[in-house]
Amino acid sequence: MTDAASDPRGMARVLRAPATWALVALAALLVAGAVGSPGFLSVEMRDGRLYGTPIDILNHGSKVAIVAIGMTLVIATRGVDLSVGAVVAIASAIVATLVSQKGVAWPIAMAGALGAALLAGLWNGSLVTFLRLQPIVATLVLMVAGRGIAQLITDGQIVTVRDPAVAFLGNASLLLLPATVSALAVISALAWLGTRRTAFGLFLEAVGENERAARLSGIPVRPVLLVAYAACGLCAGVAGLIDCAYIRAADANNAGQLLELDAILAVVLGGTALTGGRFSLLGSVIGAMLMQTLTKVLYVFDVSADIAPAPKAAIVLAVCLLQSPTFRAACSRHLESARARLRPGTEARP
Amino acid sequence: MKLRPRDLPLLVAAIVLVTAFAAGALRYDHFASVAVVRNLLVDNAFLGVAAVGATFVILSGGIDLSVGAVMAFTGVVVAALVERGGVHPGIAIAIALALGAAFGLLQGAIIRGFALPAFLVTLAGMFLARGMAFAVEPQSRPIRHPFVATTLNESATIALPLGETSTTIPLTVSIGAVTFVVAWFVLRQTPFGRRVYAIGDDLQGATVLGLPVAATTIAVYAISGFLSALAGVVFVLYQQAGDPTACKGLELDAIAAVVIGGTLLRGGVGSVVGTLIGVLIYGLIQTIITFEGTLSSWWTRIVVGALILAFVAAQRGLERVGRRLADA
């Protein structure tokens, strides 16, 4: 293995690696946070559980990260799922209504919510595979209708949940870390095993790279697409359970609002292109944590939560530009000409 | 006139609109009245203007998610300039429109210049505009300037003498109507309009033909930004306030109306007439649900979702039939 810093080609490869810029931005934000508030990076142990801002970030970033993992699989197939926010609302509405109003036991209620989320994903996948709708239109249907369905389930009310088992995911801790982080770890591991230890990951990338070529080479394109959308629905369902657990209630009107956009941003920041093909699950998790860290750092610098989207947009654009080949080519041209001007007599390297 | 297969979605949308209105008129008293139609137009004028902008972008094969946020931003800019800065509303509106167009231009330039997906850039634009709206005005600010309340909202209405049912057309509806007519003219009768269709239909082909692809793309986003700002101004006239939380998610309503109107999200096929019908269907569903009384507001979402599905599925079917006819 060559030392990346001494070998310009290795360095270039690191710079081109999908998640590099998200990691750089994450590190920069953590430093900024530590400068703005000295206790920003400290973690302490209390009551058999870790506390501190980094743990907070992990805890609150987990929901978006879980959705982003499902979204990564869909985006890898050159698709997109706009309905995840609505599916979160449906799942949380189902679990809350079943437990609080129908008196159903929590394992059945949770299974019901996840089952509905899985169905939602299969529905999206069917529209994409069998009706051959564009993913953005196919999932727009459930995005628009899904929140209405969730409101139908809760009858437009906010349904509160007192069952401690349902609230567990949002507030309890497992192995020193908040339970949501454990859920994220389990889902990441499953997704990684499913895509990197089987051929499924390659199938996803092949379908996203060139669907026709994938079909001609014998890849079962339709099942691959169905599984990707179903997995995305299921991840949104888990996020719905977490959302319900956090606030100990189902708020069909606001649960998962704009979550689809956060998740897509997390995926893109993590280096998976919207044009499909190669994907990075780790990158998406880093992307989600980057967004959450940004939120925290903006709090540290006293930026109001309402204005926060503006600096977020600026950073997102910056990371996207750094990942854009066109922008990089333009930058390196400028760098080369600057270098040539600084050292007259030496030729600019090709 | 010969009916082409691609006109069918438009025809179906028109039939749905007429049927829904007829059903409403048969089912409810006072439904088929001038007042109901007037309210339908007044309540959806801002959506109509925004949907025209979305039509341009979607026809060109792109998407603009920043519409609702830009509307809110321009709204609070007008409110802040008029109520805090003492600027005349006419000038404030002109500044807001220019800002909207500039915002769209910038988005278009980034999309085209750095080959970034429109979805992402306009998503960032949405966050940026929403954040800036809150930075300008943290809360809703009412506009009390007499020019807005009296001149624009009262004097600029057009009286419509219809005997007993005489009514007035407020300025907001007139702005919406003019927007649709101008957009129809630009898209159908100018070389620029044909270029919008061309790059949406086949970007590579348009490039090879030597069309000014970059300039057209950037112009389309500038138009969308301008029309978002205009929709924001219409919303300000409608509400007489600038509200930073206004119009959240309105871009999706606009896209839904465009899709229902028979425009393909893939680009190159569709019309602004379809968008008008789509917006009216959207508004009519809400009117019917209000008239029904027992139905809750969330049925609007479910019905709109079902309609989108029905329309895109029908379009798919038509395309297949068309291809089979072409092959035969």
Q: Which of A144, A274, A308 shows the shortest C-beta gap to B131? A: A308
Q: Which of B126, B134, B308 shows the shortest C-beta gap to A144? A: B308
For residues A302-317, average pLDDT? 82
- Please give, rounded to a whole number of angstroms, the shortest distance from the CA of A346 to a CA of chain B: 30
- Please give, rounded to a whole number of angstroms, the shortest distance from the CA of B59 to a CA of chain A: 15
Q: Does B15 touch chain A (CB under 8 A)?
A: no
Among B202, B218, B311, CA closest to B267:
B202
Q: Which residues of B touch A274 (CB under 8 A)?
A: 117, 119-120
pLDDT computed for residue A110 by the predictor: 92
- The domain that holds A125 is classified in CATH as 1.10.3470
Q: Does A329 touch chain B (CB under 8 A)?
A: no
Cα–Cα distance, A268 to B136 (Å, whole number): 29
Q: Which of A142, A264, A320 shows the shortest C-beta gap to B116? A: A320
In a domain, A20, yes or no: no
pLDDT computed for residue A329 by the predictor: 83
In a domain, B296, yes or no: yes
Instruction: Identify the band that residue A345 occupies on the pLDDT scale cut at 50, 70 and 90.
Output: low
- Quote the DSSP letter at residue A7: -
- The answer for A 143-202 residues in CB contact with B (under 8 A) is 143-149, 151-152, 155-156
- Residue A51, pLDDT above cutoff 80: no
Residue in B closest to A142 by C-alpha = B305
Task: Tell me which of A10-14, A304-308, B79-83 is least confident.
Answer: A10-14
Write out the residue range of the structural domain in which residue B167 sits.
5-321
In a domain, A15, yes or no: no
- The answer for A 80-119 residues in CB contact with B (under 8 A) is 80
Q: Does B136 touch chain A (CB under 8 A)?
A: no
In a domain, A323, yes or no: no
Cross-chain Cβ contact A127/B316 below 8 Å: no
Counted domains in chain A: 1
Counted domains in chain B: 1
Write out the residue range of the structural domain in which residue A68 sits.
33-302
Cα–Cα distance, A123 to B328 (Å, whole number): 33
Across the strands, what pairs with B40? none
Q: Which residues of B touch A326 (CB under 8 A)?
A: 113-115
pLDDT computed for residue B328 by the predictor: 65
Cα–Cα distance, B33 to B103 (Å, whole number): 41
In a domain, A339, yes or no: no
Q: Does B132 touch chain A (CB under 8 A)?
A: yes
Cross-chain Cβ contact A321/B116 below 8 Å: yes
Across the strands, what pairs with A96? none
Among A257, A65, A242, A229, CA closest to A150:
A257
- Residue A317, pLDDT above cutoff 60: yes
In a domain, A106, yes or no: yes
Residue to test with chain B: of A87, A124, A140, most B Cβ within 10 A: A140
Across the strands, what pairs with B168? B159
- Residue A85, pLDDT above cutoff 80: yes
- The domain that holds B155 is classified in CATH as 1.10.3470
- Residue A100, pLDDT above cutoff 90: no
Q: Which residues of B touch A307 (CB under 8 A)?
A: 131-132, 134-135
Q: Which of A132, A312, A320 shows the shortest C-beta gap to B120? A: A320
Among B248, B63, B226, B312, CA closest to A264:
B63
Cross-chain Cβ contact B125/A313 below 8 Å: yes
Q: Does A315 touch chain B (CB under 8 A)?
A: no
Q: Which residues of A touch B256 (CB under 8 A)?
A: 140, 144
Q: What confidence tens digit (pLDDT) does each residue in A204-248 have?
A: 999 888 888 988 998 899 999 999 999 999 999 999 999 998 888
The answer to whether the CB of A127 falls within 8 A of the CB of A142 is: no
Query: Per-residue confidence of chain B (328 residues) as pLDDT tens digits?
Result: 556 666 777 888 888 899 889 988 998 888 888 888 989 999 999 999 999 999 999 999 999 999 999 999 999 999 999 999 889 999 999 999 999 999 999 999 999 988 888 988 998 999 899 999 999 998 889 888 888 777 777 777 787 777 677 788 889 999 999 999 999 999 999 999 999 999 999 888 899 988 999 999 999 999 999 999 999 999 999 988 889 988 888 888 899 899 888 888 888 888 999 999 999 998 998 888 888 877 777 888 888 888 888 888 877 777 777 777 766 6
pLDDT computed for residue A350 by the predictor: 46
In a domain, B194, yes or no: yes
Residue in A closest to B317 by C-alpha = A131
Cross-chain Cβ contact A310/B135 below 8 Å: yes
Instruction: Identify the band that residue A7 occupies on the pLDDT scale cut at 50, 70 and 90.
Output: low
In a domain, A322, yes or no: no
In a domain, B327, yes or no: no
Q: Which of A137, A145, A309 shows the shortest C-beta gap to B301? A: A145
Query: Coil, helix or strand for B158?
Result: strand
Share of chain A above pLDDT 70, in %: 93
Q: Which residues of B touch A316 (CB under 8 A)?
A: 120, 123-124, 127
Cα–Cα distance, A100 to A73 (Å, whole number): 34
Among B218, B75, B197, CA closest to B142:
B75
In a domain, B326, yes or no: no
For residues A274-281, average pLDDT? 86
Q: Which residues of A touch B301 (CB under 8 A)?
A: 144-145, 147-148, 151
Q: Which of A144, A156, A309 shows the shortest C-beta gap to B305? A: A144
- Residue A167, pLDDT above cutoff 50: yes
Q: Which residues of B touch A141 (CB under 8 A)?
A: 305-306, 308-309, 312
The answer to whether the CB of A163 falls within 8 A of the CB of A99 is: yes
Cross-chain Cβ contact A304/B138 below 8 Å: yes
Q: When comparing pLDDT for A201 and A1, which is higher?
A: A201
The answer to whether the CB of B121 falls within 8 A of the CB of B111 is: yes
Share of chain A above pLDDT 90, in %: 29
Instruction: Identify the band that residue A84 occupies on the pLDDT scale cut at 50, 70 and 90.
Output: very high
Cross-chain Cβ contact B131/A131 below 8 Å: no
Beta-carbon pairs below 8 A across chains A and B: 129
pLDDT computed for residue A16 by the predictor: 65
Cross-chain Cβ contact B121/A317 below 8 Å: yes
- Please give, rounded to a whole number of angstroms, the shortest distance from the CA of B166 to a CA of chain A: 37
For residues A287-298, average pLDDT? 88
Q: Which long-range contacts (CB under 8 A, 24 or more apart) does B1-8 make?
A: B5/B318, B5/B319, B5/B321, B5/B322, B5/B325, B6/B269, B6/B322, B8/B318
In a domain, A85, yes or no: yes
For residues A186-205, average pLDDT? 90
Which amino acid, one-letter code, is at B194?
Answer: R
- Please give, rounded to a whole number of angstroms, the shortest distance from the CA of B299 to a CA of chain A: 6
Quick one: tokens of A199? Answer: 């051929």
In a domain, B262, yes or no: yes
For residues A66-82, average pLDDT? 93
CA angle B259, B251, B141 (to 5 degrees): 150
Q: Does B58 touch chain A (CB under 8 A)?
A: no
Cross-chain Cβ contact B123/A261 below 8 Å: yes
In a domain, A214, yes or no: yes
The two most distant CA atoms of chain A are separated, in Å, by: 83
Cross-chain Cβ contact A304/B116 below 8 Å: no
Mean pLDDT, all residues of chain A: 85
Cross-chain Cβ contact A156/B244 below 8 Å: no
Cross-chain Cβ contact B305/A141 below 8 Å: yes
pLDDT computed for residue A11 by the predictor: 66
